[in-house]
Homo-oligomer: A and B are copies of this chain.
Amino acid sequence: MPNYGGNLRNIHGIAEQVRVNIADVRDQYSMNYLVQGHDYLFNLAGQTSHLDSMHDPYTDLEINCRAQLSILEACRNHNNSIKVVYASTRQIYGKPDYLPVDERHLLHPTDVNGINKMAGEWYHIVYNNVYGVRATALRLTNTYGPRMRVKDARQTFLGIWLKRVLDDEPILVFGDGLQMRDFTYIDDCVDALLLAAVSPEADGQVFNLGSHETINLRNLAELLIAIHGSGSYEIVPFPPERKVIDIGDYYGDYRLIQGRLGWQPTISLRTGLQRTLDFYHEHRTFYW
């Protein structure tokens, strides 16, 4: 899918150790087959672009709602002892009522993608509770790191920022640049996914990820430029279609997963950005 995050380069070096099956999550027959014989399903496929979900709400619905039902029905009917870990998102909270946002915060998404991801998350919890298809949802926040899509802003704005810094183009910061955000380095995210998979106490639960570091976008741009050693950024007005679905400040409270599963972020933002810039400096041809 040219508009999505997959990139076969990402398994370079381990291609012989993994089995790849390219299929669309909307294809019920593939799902029915593929869930069989496995202990864990990391359910990470999704349409993640907020803007796309407004331009084409039906495709977002098909992927983030209908396909999630198909996957869960496949598990229920063809492998009901599988454990599913679902990649949910902090987007479902919408514009926060308070900070940091914990799991008791109301869900009031600001765009169609947020609504459909909310539904997708709850299908997992209901299938856990009603059918015993064990599932855990992690509400991810700005996951970044080597191998992410950077050619555009479809997987967090940070992707295109990384590319522009490395291309010696100015980073574009929307609004006043004071919006607060938190970030999760990919290795920390993978740790959380694995912990959720193997922890029985996570069954039927929803957990925020988050960071002890929060930063506004202007400072993030400055940090990225400082780590890279050069670069510039421009404060530009919000494009209207983004402004109307923007969530303002966000950072999450991750004490629930910390207390229950012992997860906490281990890679500082500076280290994570350094590693990410280094990776794309070396491998840019496969991701540009």
* Contact surface of A with B, Cβ cutoff 8 Å: 54, 57-58, 61, 65-66, 69, 73, 104, 106-112, 115-116, 118-119, 122-123, 125-126, 129-130, 244-245
Contact = CB atoms under 8 A, between A and B. Distances in A.
Contact of A126 (B66, B115, B123): B115
Interface of A is mostly: helix
Nearest to A117: B119
A80 to B, nearest CB: 15
A126 B107 CA distance: 13
A283 to B, nearest CB: 38
A106 B107 CA distance: 8
Given A118-B122, A130-B244, A130-B245, 18 more contacts: A54-B130, A57-B73, A58-B69, A61-B65, A61-B66, A61-B69, A65-B65, A65-B119, A104-B106, A108-B122, A109-B126, A110-B126, A111-B130, A112-B126, A115-B122, A116-B119, A118-B119, A119-B119
A56 to B, nearest CB: 10
Contacts of A69: 57-58, 61, 112
Contacts of A123: 57, 112, 115
9 contacts: A58-B69, A65-B119, A104-B106, A106-B106, A109-B122, A115-B122, A115-B126, A116-B119, A130-B245
A119 B126 contact: no
Contact of A244 (B54, B112, B118, B129): B129
B108 A125 contact: yes
Contacts of A57: 69, 73, 123
A54 B125 CA distance: 13
Contacts of A118: 118-119, 122
A279 to B, nearest CB: 36
A112 B115 CA distance: 14
Nearest to A122: B115
A44 to B, nearest CB: 20
A244 B6 CA distance: 38
A125 B107 CA distance: 12
Contacts of A104: 106
Contacts of A54: 130
A129 B110 contact: yes
A112 to B, nearest CB: 6
A110 B204 CA distance: 12
